[in-house]
Each structure stands twice: as structure tokens, then as C-alpha cells.
Structure 1
């Protein structure tokens, strides 16, 4: 007997004995992969070289999108078959072998089957991304696919793949695509100086992007997001694991282990990953690092906790409509959601979610599947954790399972870009993100933002400069500054600067801001979390010092979690240097949030120092803005002068 669990394809019955949290077992993962692959292959070209899934094309065009459909589903098939020791009950590998043959006969030709050529990223770059999935799929299934191909098909496949080694990637995780192609070619005896240099160059850059604590910047800037797990850790460690290179496995594995110390807290009690950063339509690919850590043994999590996180995310999306009625992954978050996408998102883009199926490389008897599920990190005691390398402060509450990320270090601005009046990126520029809320669209009032309005023009937050972060027992803080830029008005205002700090305790956030150099007539605005006013997730924002009475403003385009949302907002007239204090909260539990007087007993502001007395336990927090740094002290009354 089989039952449907929120997906249009059939899954095995729940197993609450071994999986008390999710009900999912390894068989559910196999069934999910099979169901998604079956649905996608209905849209294959006659020769199987392209899977032209329905939907609006990306900016790369329909031919590239069709290759994307082949390559990304091949990745899922590779993990599925390799994890089963070559067992291929649905005949997937024969289809992919035929597609490889058809796609590489006349690359670049404008016909139904031929794959586009791999060129420089700024010319026609997307095929380089897909070459890594093709190469990895071939490497995973070598005994059952590559080794059975004719010499002619192998030569043609190599020729096409080498385009990734001979053209320029984008200046970020893209360098790991030729790295992965080169690793495959070397694994089948086709390595040379060209493959060696591609791998050497990628590792050189990867090392330069390492910022510590297991976190890489995605390129030369300060973009920290899910690409850490589904790209920057995945490709090098999986390569080392597949090649049996113990030295490289230990080096990359140690970094993944450290990364998971903080990243594993970025999944809510309902299984949701943090809605933060770009390419969120990849959804449960966010668990790729968790799964790979379990497969390779490089993880701080127990096998049961690893499965809880991975299966929790898979089920979260299957239960919420990420797969449409035909079995295809939609472009969005729960279901279709345009604001979640980027211009490079095409109909097959969501199938980078296939990376989550790396967990299937752990065979049935592996502890990942045989150990009982255990609680995820967010299901333990309330926790506040700082991540100085990325400038993050993580805040989780057990009562409602919500995880919040306070962003004081990650942006999407290249280091060679000057401060500009370009629109801010809602997926990076906001002060905070969570597992139950998403940012409002750029066309609506921005959530979680401190803006300054000058002459009718409202500022944006783009480049973020960290000022420090830290945590103690049950509390933590993070701070940063930014130069306000104005998309509709003068690019900048001379002398204008905003410094921001947050102190998190329980589900409350003390939000402090120092506005410097504000011209006469300027007005500051602070917004909180965007939520559905009729939903169970609640957002509150109270002024503690310097702010006027709060109001709720509408965000009609909603978020990835709410079709229509409201955002609490505070405002204040500011001139010169002004220090402002507010208290925010985001909850998803049944309890009513206490009034601010029951949380904060007294707030005093003296110059650039804010001191808060917490009502419930008498603790004090003192925050001093110092320009180049922020100093934070916290403890019981009398613990500091």
C-alpha cells in the first residue's frame, strides 16, 4: 500500500518508529527522486538530449534551458542509481546515454537535440553550469553508463565538456564547474595539463574566498548564503570522496564540519531552510551539505539529526506545493513565486534541488538511515549563535520552531562596485530573515529595513560593513554600518551614515541605530517582519527611544509565505546624529507577545551609549557606538560599571 503525502506521486507509508519527526525513510527519498524524474522526462525531446519543461524561459533561452533540464535531472538520477549500487529500475541511465549521444553530435546547431556550446559566462555561460552536472552524473554512474558508451560518444562528450575548461566562468562558485568537469575527465583517464590547471585555479580561488568558521564568500565580495552548502563545500568534498583522496577529504571535510556547526541551525522546526540569499527556488538543495557531511563522516551532527534536517526540508516542500500537479518542481518557494527568482531562473532551474539526493550515496544500512531520527538543532533549547566570519547572528526559539538570521555581514555587491543608486537586493539587503517569513518585493515597503528619507527620496542598504558580533548564554549581538544610497534622488548625501546593532534574547530583538550626518528635514523609518495579518505568524515592533507611534503598512505583493502582508513601521525626524532604540519580535506560537514594558524595564540613552534593563530577570545590556566598532556588555545588574 502507498499513500500520497503532499506530492502528486506516490510515496511509501510513513514510518514513525524510525522517523518520529518526519515519517520519512530512505525509501521516501528514492520515491521522491523517481517521481520527479518521471514527471520531467515527459518533456524530453525525441532523442532525449533536452528536457524542455513548460514555463517562461530564462535569459539564456530555451535551448540552454532544455540542456539544464537534462543536466540537473541527470544529477538526481546519478545519486539515485549510484546509491543503489547500479540498480536502475526505471531505466534512467539508458535515457541519459541516448541524450548524451544526441546532444553532442552537432553542438551549437539550432535543432531539437544539439546542446549549446559552452562559452564565456558573459556570452553564453549557462551551459558551463550544466556541464558540471553532466560530468558529475557521468562520474557517479560510470560503471553502468560511461564504460558502456562507444568510443565515439565518449570522445564527443569530452570535446563538449572541455569547453568548460577553455572559457571564462563568472567570478564566484562558477570556477567549481570546470573543476568538476576536470575531475571527471581525470577519473576516466582523460586528464592532462588543461584539467590540472582548471582544478588548481579553482582551489586557489576557493582558498582566497575562505573567511573562517566553515564559511566561504561566493566570490571576492561578502556574499554568504546557501551557495556555501550546495556549491562551495559540495563540489570539492564530493570530488575528494569519489576519488578516494584521503588528504583532500580531510581538508575539505574539516571545513564542512565547522560550517555545519552554524549552518545546521538554519532550518526551522517545521523543516524550512532560511529564506535568505539568491537561487532559493533550489529549495531542499539547502540540505546538500548536511547530507554530504553524513555520507563522508565530516559532520558535527549525529546521523539521526542529519536525517531529521534533510528529511524535514524535503517533506516541508513536498507538503506545501513545491511540486505541481504534474509532478514538476515549480519556480518559486512553496508554489510559484516570481519574487523568489532571478533572471537566470528557467523552467528546469529548480532541479538543482537534485543536490539534496547526495544523501542517497549512503546505502540502506548506513547510520544516516538506520539510526532513529533525532531533534534538529533548532528543536533544542532556545539558542543565540553569532557567526563572525559572515557577520550573522542566529536566533532560534523552541516554542515555535522559528529561526531568525540577523544580517550584518552579507551583501550582494562586488568589491569593485562603487556605492551606487541601484536598487537594493531584497534577498541580501534586509536586516533580518527567518524560516517563516520572506522579504517583501522591491516594489512594496521593505521589511526589516532602516531607511532615511531626504527630499522625498528613500535610501537603500547595499554594501554592508560588519562592526562585530558575539554571543553569550542565551543572548547575542551583531552590528554593522552602511552608507545610505538613493535609487530615486542623489546617489548619496554627504556625511550621512547609518550604524545598526541588534541584541537578541528569546524571541525578542533589541534594534539600535545611530544615524549620523542627517540633513535638516530628514526622516528615518524602521520596519519589522512582514507577515499575513490573518495568519499564525505574528510580528511586533515597538519604539523604545526616539521613535514616533507605530503604524502598519501594506505589502500587497506579499512574500513567499503570504499572498498579502503587512509590515510594522516606526518613523522619526532626524537631524545630525541621532540614536534610536526599538524592540521587535517574530513569533509563531499560540502565546500572546507581552507588552514592551514587560520585556524592557528601562532604556537610557547617553550620547552614543544605550543601556537597557530587562524586566524579567533584571539583566542589563549596554551598547556603545564607536564608529569603527560597537561595544556590547551584557549581564546581571552590577556585572559592569
Structure 2
């Protein structure tokens, strides 16, 4: 059961006239920024250069973590002050000015204040990430901070920042960090060939990573996640907006607007973003793209819809304990949750959530704040939306406000990694994610997973190859294939592969899997959603063809939403080529019925050539029939 609580800092009274869904106003955002900053600054070093927040260090070490605390909170302060036209009643910028002077006096020195130097990403890379927040904060507050610094401090800050231009970023969104640093230096008249090249290189890679439908891959692979909104769209679009560059704004803004066409559906009726991908401890940073779209004017959303989404996301986390009793953002989702984290997560990492405060760049007179909140896309009629470029199928239901993402394209596997690469990432490997459930621990049975067991070892899903996606009125589909990978013994089995198709309509998910080349003695297992027993959401899974009777398995380590979870599981002995069909559901509707009567027919028939197999399912409610034909590495679909 969800426990609602007030944040540790004071918020203004709710305004249900202008915000009928959340009660939040622009004043709530200012109060939240101030509250989070006050809590963090209690842990500052005497000179203010490092914010050494309590907690276990990241793999970058305590000094880098302290810089992270300074830089990421600076970003929140910068949006807060810039959005107020320079008004700074809490005198935040004085603190950050003192920290700049202290941190850049002797970079790399092992003393109480000095910042670490910026090196290559694989040596001492984290400071490069933080340099972008420092640079962006300085750019946003230039008249009230940078322009008032002594020239010697300005020179020292520039030299420290240039470390980002002279060292190697990681091969993903990190190239936008030197891009952002270079943009600031050019904005204050300190540009040169070095800054020009850093920006050109980032833009070249950004074009390569753009895959369509408003979505970027985070690097050369197929990692599609929240980094689209809080990095890959945010940095170039905000840069163009601050520079007043109409051509760049039009280019990047058009992509942001297209991104929001699908991404805006990925917030639940309770305000939660999808629990999917890495760095989820950044929480309400997920709304940054929505806020930036409103600020820049590059959005398909009405101002009241944007307001509903950003307000809902902020409120969702604040009232579920994201900032604990001490006011600090914890490492987790609602509260602390170690499984949500990556090795680079340190005590100050959650403060990338500061990016959500980009919404404050819209002044009080902006339509984002003067328009009355309107329903979020997930609060309208039931919807199913396919997004072919990333391989997503998004499914929302009005009755419970739950949004589900069926993943047939995002895998977070580097191009140079083969199928034998060790390990699996629960935040990408699952078949489906939602706004009310999280993946189970790697030590527990995997939720939403089709595994093949060979020699007593269950397979995992790593590299995902899309087979297509599409949607019509009230329904949609997406498909992919993968080579099962085994983390013990031989990594792969020759000839073994799995093709998967999800068809969504209403709250139902038709899950069809074609297992090819299974060796004798192999066993397939399919799991459903992980949910709290007796909790507000219910997970259902029913076999239609090829599966044995279902069982319920336990996940004692729980998920980010519940300390303890259970999930349904189907199993079948497989050998050679086998097609398996099941129906799944995740619902918070208290009167949702069982799945047994939803489908009245389910047939599987091999084609005459032996290379194709057809699946036909009849829906009892309206007589609609879904037909799926698996060909040679291709899928065709009909739903009528």
C-alpha cells in the first residue's frame, strides 16, 4: 500500500482552481527548489566548493561526489534564480560564487575544497558530467554571478572547464557535456577553435544517434530511455533557446516536439513516469523534456497538459518520500532502493532531478502557469501507441491510470559487445515496464520475461532486434527477436532464438513467442508482472496455447514499489520450433475479471513452406480476430 507523506520542507497552500489535478502552482516549484537546496547546503564544506552529502560513495570517490553535490544543486538554484529574473531572496548565488572561487583555486589538490580535475571518462570521468551543470548554471545566471566574479576567478573557472574539452567522453550522451561547456564559454566571449570543435563533434554524433519518431539512441547501440528527455533533447534545445539561435531551435525543437508526442503518454494518472532504464534515481527529471517544450515553444501539448505532467511528476515523488526526513533526495525511487542504482550513483546523484526545474524558466505570466491544468494523455480514453524507432508499444488505461511500456527495441548493449557478454540489466531486459511496477532483483525470478532453460540454466535477454511495430484504433503491436544468453556454461546454444510479439488492447496483452531451435530437454518459462500480494495492482497471466497450468512464484527482495512481490509464471517443455501464446494483464481496477473468457479461440498453424507459422486469436468481447504470421525473420499483423 502506498504511503503518502508531506515533504520535510513547507509548501504553499494548494490551488485547486488553477490546478484541479495536483493543486500545485509555480510557487510550489520555487518552494521545492528552496527546500531541497537548504537541505543539501547543510553538508557543504566551509568554502562551499563541495557538498559532501551523507551516504556510501560512488565508484568515483568522495571528492568527485562532493563536486557532484555542488554542481547538481547549482543547476536547481540557477533555474530558480534565472526564472525569477535574478531575484534571489535566499542568496543562493552568493554561496555558489564562493564555491567557484574555492573549488578552482588548486584543482586536483587533496585539501578541503579543491575540485578534482577533469580527465578521460575511464580514468576520472565523473567531473566531466558535473562540468556541464556548472557551465549551464553559469550561463543561466550570467548577469548575477559570472559577470560579478573577479577576472582571476573567471580565468580559473575557464581553465577547469576546458578539461572537458580536452578529454575523452564516454561514447553516449556524455559528448553533450563538453558541448554545453563550450556553449557557455562562447556565450561569454571565450570561444575558440577548441570550443567550436567540441560542439561540432557532439552535433555530428547526435545526428548519427537520431533514429526517428523523436527518439535518440544513447550512443551507437540501441539504448532508448529517459536520457532522451533529460540529456539528448535538453542540452541542445536549451542551448539554442538561450542563444536565440532560430535555426538550431527549429531543428532541435522539431525533434523535441515529436518526442513529446509519444513520451507524454509515458506518465501515469498518478503522475509517475515509467520505471524503465537506468539512472531512475533522477526521478522527476523525467519531466524536464515536458517543461522545456513549454518554455521553448516546441511542444505538441496544450499548456494545461504540460502543467499537469510536470506538476504531477514533482508531486508524485515528494509525497512518496523521495526527500526523507532530512530533506535530502535519497538514492532510490520512492525512498531508498539499492536495486534502482548503478555503480556511478553517489549520495548527490539524485540531484540531476534539478533538470525538472527548467520549467521555472517560464515566468509566472507564461501559459504554462496561467493555464488551468488539463488531463494528462494517460487520463483520456484507453490508448495504444506504437513507436517504431525505439521499438516501443505504449499502453494506457483510463480506469486505473496505469501506463505500460512493451519493450521490443531498447537493450543497453554496446555495439562491440557480443552475445556472450556477461551480465544482464533488469532495467532493459524485461518484456514490459509500467508506472506502478518495477523489475525484480537479479537474485529473484525475473518478471515479464521469456526464458529458455537448458542444462538447468535459465536464459536472459540481452541484444534486442526489432521486428516491427504498428497500431490502429484501440490496439497496437510490437515484435522483436533475441538470442537467449546463458550466464553459466556456454553463453549461447547454436540455432536457438526467440521471436516475441505483443499485441495490446484495453488492459490486455497478447504475448506470442516463437522458440526456434530448442534442444531436447529444454524448457520455456514466461512470467508476468511483479506485484504486491493483495496490493492495489493485480497481475494476471493465462496460457492460451502450448503452456501448462500457471503457478505463482515469489520475489522476496521485492521491487522499487513493494518490499515483497509475487508474479505468475507459465512453463512448457520445448524442443525444436514451438509457438506459445498467452494473455497477460496488469490492472488497478478493483472489479477486473479473470482472463479465461477474454479470448474464445487461439489457433496455431504452420505454413505449407515450413518457414512460416500463423497464429489467430479471437476476442470474445467483439469478435475481433488478431492474426500474426511469423516468416523468415519477419512478422506480419492483421487485427480486424
Task: Judge same fold: TM > 0.5, yes or no.
Answer: yes
What is the aligned counterpart of 1:611 among 613, 616, 619?
Answer: 616
8 Å CA contact 1:483–1:496 kept in 2: the answer is yes
RMSD: 0.8
Q: Counterparts of 1:486 and 1:386 in 2: how far apart (Å)?
A: 30
Q: Counterparts of 1:268 and 1:591 in 2: how far apart (Å)?
A: 20
Q: Counterparts of 2:369 and 2:170 in 1: how far apart (Å)?
A: 37
1:147-158 to 2 correspondence within 5 Å? Answer: 147-158=147-158
1:54-69 to 2 correspondence within 5 Å? Answer: 54-69=54-69
1:323-334 to 2 correspondence within 5 Å? Answer: 323-334=323-334
8 Å CA contact 1:387–1:393 kept in 2: the answer is yes
1:199 aligns to 2:199 (yes or no):
yes
1:249-268 to 2 correspondence within 5 Å? Answer: 249-268=249-268
1:380-420 superposed Cα distances (whole Å, 9 cap, x missing partner): 10000000000000000000000000000000101111111
8 Å CA contact 1:621–1:633 kept in 2: the answer is yes
Equivalence for 1:639? none
The Cα of 1:291 is off from its aligned counterpart by: 0.2
1:105-151 superposed Cα distances (whole Å, 9 cap, x missing partner): 00000111000000000000000000000000000000000000000
Name the TM-score, length of structure 1 as normaliser: 0.98
1:218-367 to 2 correspondence within 5 Å? Answer: 218-367=218-367
Equivalence for 1:170? 170
Equivalence for 1:602? 601
1:490-525 superposed Cα distances (whole Å, 9 cap, x missing partner): 111011000000100100000000000000000000
8 Å CA contact 1:223–1:412 kept in 2: the answer is yes
8 Å CA contact 1:222–1:409 kept in 2: the answer is yes
1:315-347 superposed Cα distances (whole Å, 9 cap, x missing partner): 000010000101100000000000000000000
Equivalence for 1:112? 112
Q: Counterparts of 1:331 and 1:430 in 2: how far apart (Å)?
A: 22
Equivalence for 2:634? 629
8 Å CA contact 2:507–2:587 kept in 1: the answer is yes
The Cα of 1:629 is off from its aligned counterpart by: 1.1
Q: Counterparts of 1:406 and 1:43 in 2: how far apart (Å)?
A: 41
Query: In structure 1, the residue corresponding to 2:486 is in which secondary structure?
Result: coil
Query: In structure 2, the residue corresponding to 1:427 is in which secondary structure?
Result: helix
Q: Counterparts of 1:69 and 1:421 in 2: how far apart (Å)?
A: 34
Query: In structure 2, the residue corresponding to 1:515 is in which secondary structure?
Result: strand
Q: Counterparts of 1:540 and 1:389 in 2: how far apart (Å)?
A: 29
8 Å CA contact 1:421–1:486 kept in 2: the answer is no
The Cα of 1:5 is off from its aligned counterpart by: 6.6
The Cα of 1:488 is off from its aligned counterpart by: 1.4
The Cα of 1:298 is off from its aligned counterpart by: 0.3
Equivalence for 2:584? 584
Q: Counterparts of 1:445 and 1:188 in 2: how far apart (Å)?
A: 54
Equivalence for 1:535? 535
Q: Counterparts of 1:630 and 1:618 in 2: how far apart (Å)?
A: 23
1:561-595 superposed Cα distances (whole Å, 9 cap, x missing partner): 01000010000000000000000000012223233
8 Å CA contact 2:583–2:595 kept in 1: the answer is no
The Cα of 1:421 is off from its aligned counterpart by: 4.8
Structure 1 spans left out of the alignment, 5+ residues = 636-641
Query: In structure 1, the residue corresponding to 2:429 is in which secondary structure?
Result: coil
1:181-230 superposed Cα distances (whole Å, 9 cap, x missing partner): 00000000000000000000000000000000100000000000000000
Equivalence for 1:502? 502
The Cα of 1:596 is off from its aligned counterpart by: 2.0
1:447 aligns to 2:454 (yes or no):
no
1:385 aligns to 2:385 (yes or no):
yes
Equivalence for 2:457? 457
8 Å CA contact 2:540–2:595 kept in 1: the answer is no
Query: In structure 2, the residue corresponding to 1:306 is in which secondary structure?
Result: helix
Q: Counterparts of 2:632 and 2:68 in 1: how far apart (Å)?
A: 47
The Cα of 1:627 is off from its aligned counterpart by: 2.9
Name the TM-score, length of structure 2 as normaliser: 0.98
8 Å CA contact 2:5–2:321 kept in 1: the answer is no
Structure 2 spans left out of the alignment, 5+ residues = 607-612
8 Å CA contact 1:83–1:363 kept in 2: the answer is yes
The Cα of 1:103 is off from its aligned counterpart by: 0.1
8 Å CA contact 2:537–2:586 kept in 1: the answer is yes
Q: Counterparts of 1:167 and 1:157 in 2: how far apart (Å)?
A: 17
8 Å CA contact 2:407–2:430 kept in 1: the answer is yes
Q: Counterparts of 2:596 and 2:27 in 1: how far apart (Å)?
A: 49
Query: In structure 2, the residue corresponding to 1:446 is in which secondary structure?
Result: coil
Equivalence for 1:11? 11
8 Å CA contact 2:541–2:595 kept in 1: the answer is no
Equivalence for 2:610? none
1:620 aligns to 2:619 (yes or no):
no
8 Å CA contact 2:5–2:320 kept in 1: the answer is no
Q: Counterparts of 1:540 and 1:40 in 2: how far apart (Å)?
A: 43
1:58-104 superposed Cα distances (whole Å, 9 cap, x missing partner): 00000000000000000000000000000000010000000000000
The Cα of 1:628 is off from its aligned counterpart by: 1.7
Q: Counterparts of 1:528 and 1:201 in 2: how far apart (Å)?
A: 43
Q: Counterparts of 1:471 and 1:165 in 2: how far apart (Å)?
A: 44
Q: Counterparts of 1:297 and 1:134 in 2: how far apart (Å)?
A: 25
The Cα of 1:534 is off from its aligned counterpart by: 2.1
Q: Counterparts of 1:540 and 1:23 in 2: how far apart (Å)?
A: 34
1:225-251 superposed Cα distances (whole Å, 9 cap, x missing partner): 000000000000000000100110011
Equivalence for 1:638? none
